[in-house]
Structure 1
Amino acid sequence: MNRNRASRTRLLTAAATVALAALSLTACNDGSGVKDEGASSGSSTTVSPTASPTAGERTDDAKPAPDTPAASDTADTANAPAAKSPAAKAPAKNAPAASTRTVTCEGSTTRTVAAPLTRPVNHMLLTVTNTGSNTCYLYGYPAARFGEAQSVPPVDEDTKPQAVVTLKPGESGYASVRLSAADGSGSNGYTAKTLSVYFQGRSGNESVGSGATPALPAKGLYVDDSLEVTYWQQSMDSVLGW
């Protein structure tokens, strides 16, 4: 009887030990780790589970960073010129219309220069330049008065041009003056220190507008009764050989 009771006691003790071990294991599986029952009660080691994500599963650490521009894109954006709005076109300035008016050349709208020539000798070149804003016609020949002369020199009819000399603004016309005979055959010579040039109208029988007073050399020019002029010419070459 006592033997049976002792056996039963051992069985109950073993069963209790198994139950306590099961409970201990269950408690350790609650996320606090596995407790080493063989260690002393004063020290215990807890091992944390390190579960790795399965394929295709995204963890917080694996989340992609927000989209940011690439370095090259940022550089391009920084260096890109600012967009320009189309500039308003400035109104075009109206160019002055070319004048179609024509007038007769005269002293107030021209500049006259008198220049003695070395060849031919005893000759002088007259140059008239249109300083006005209109085209002008240089009719006939220069009515040149030297000093206090009461008359003007005649014109060489062989020099008459085929068309009226026409001067646009800035253009020049030319005439030559023979001052005296090269061989000394002229008479009634004198030294002139002033010169007045008058301009003819369409008919050639009258002077129009104001005259010109081109300067002469300080020592003056010697003239005699061989004095003669050419018609106005469009080209200087037409009078230099006269």
Structure 2
Amino acid sequence: MRTNRIRTTALAATALVAALSLTACGGNEGTKSAGPAPAAASTDSGTTESTTPETAESPAPQSEAPAGSASTPAQGKHAGGNGNSAAQSAKGTAAQDPGPVRTACTAANTKVTVTKVSRPINHLLLTLKNTGSGFCNAYYAPRLGFDGAQSVFRILEDSKPQAVTTLAPGEEAYAGIALTGEPGQGKVYKSKNLSVHFAKRDNSTYDTPVNLKLPSETRWDDNGFVTYWLSDRADALMY
């Protein structure tokens, strides 16, 4: 009896071991390992925190510019516009300041008129207008000749300006003519015509004059004078 009991027990143990081996082999073949379980970190408070690595966040997509909004090229164009405005301003300044001018005012690029004035008495006014397309210099004073006079009318040196009178297109210069000196100091002449010669930069004169008709009853003597070309009408008549 005892021998049968031992044998039965041994058989049962052998069957149990075989069953456990079959179970283990079946589990390995039918499933995949999930990997090691995440470790837990112990905190001071006794709780645990997961040490699973954080998932990397994907970059946020760039927002598209709404229709009609300004873009970088538009800003560049705006900047260029400012540059163009500055260039136009510079160009306008250059037009007002021509720099050194070498062209003389002559009969070819000006118009000259002569008029009688009420004040001061015995005075005429020469007006020189630039009718050309560029700047010109009214050098020195006009050289005047009454009718067939042999000498040039006297020039008043006290009227010399600090700088040469320069005329832009359409601008005017003036020269005052005092016809006579003190009464009774010289012979008086009556004239109908006046020739106006222009001075060059070197103070010589051009050959071609402007011939003008004088106001009626124009009388002059050798004590009269003409001023330099001046930019202000009142300055030309103050002598």
Q: What is the TM-score when the length of structure 1 is the normalising length?
A: 0.55
Per-residue deviation, 1:113: 0.6
State the 4+ residue runs in structure 1 displaced beyond 4 angstroms: 98-102
Q: Once the 2 structures are TM-superposed, how far is the Cα of residue 191 of structure 1 from its aligned partner?
A: 0.5
Distance in 2 (CA, whole Å) between partners of 1:220 and 1:196 is 17
C-alpha separation between the residues in 1 aligned to 2:217 and 2:143?
Answer: 19
SS at match of 2:132: coil
The residue number in structure 1 matching 2:69 is: none
> CA separation in 1, counterparts of 2:235 and 2:130?
19
Q: Which residue of 2 aligns with 1:240?
A: 237
Instruction: Return the letter of the residue paired with 1:215.
Output: K
How many residue pairs get aligned? The number is 143
- Per the TM alignment, residue 226 of structure 1 is displaced from its structure 2 partner at its CA by 1.3
Specify whether residues 209 and 132 from structure 1 end up closer, same or farther in structure 2 by C-alpha distance, changes over 3 A only: farther
Q: Where does the alignment leave 5 or more consecutive residues of structure 1 unmatched? A: 1-97
Write out per-residue CA displacement over residues 127-154 of structure 1, whole angstroms, 9 at most, x where no aligned residue. Answer: 0000011110000001010111011112
Q: Give the aligned partner of residue 163 of structure 1.
A: 163
Match of 1:230 in 2: 227
TM-score w.r.t. length of structure 2 = 0.56
Q: Distance in 1 between matches of 2:209 and 2:109?
A: 10
Q: 1:208 aligns with which of 206, 209, 225?
A: 206
Quick check: which has more Rg, 1 or 2?
Answer: 1
1:35-63 alpha-carbon deviations (Å, 9 max, x no partner): xxxxxxxxxxxxxxxxxxxxxxxxxxxxx
Q: How far did residue 185 of structure 1 move?
A: 2.3
Q: Which has the higher helix share?
A: 2
Taking the aligned partners of 2:211 and 2:217, their CA distance within structure 1 comes to 14
Q: Name the structure 2 match of 1:135.
A: 135
Q: Percent identity?
A: 37
Cα RMSD of the aligned pairs, angstroms, is 2.0
Partner AA of 2:213 in structure 1? A
Distance 1:126 1:174 in 2: 6
Structure 2 partner of 1:123: 123
Distance in 2 (alpha carbons) for counterparts of 1:186 and 1:134: 44
**What is the distance in 1 between the residues matched to 2:115 and 2:185?**
22
**Once the 2 structures are TM-superposed, how far is the Cα of residue 102 of structure 1 from its aligned partner?**
4.7
Question: How many Å separate the matches in 2 of 1:152 and 1:130?
Answer: 24
Q: Are 1:112 and 1:213, in contact at CA under 8 Å, matched by a contact in 2?
A: no
Structure 2, unaligned stretches of length 5 or more?
Answer: 1-94
- 1:124 and 1:105, CA in 2 relative to 1: closer, same or farther beyond 3 A? same
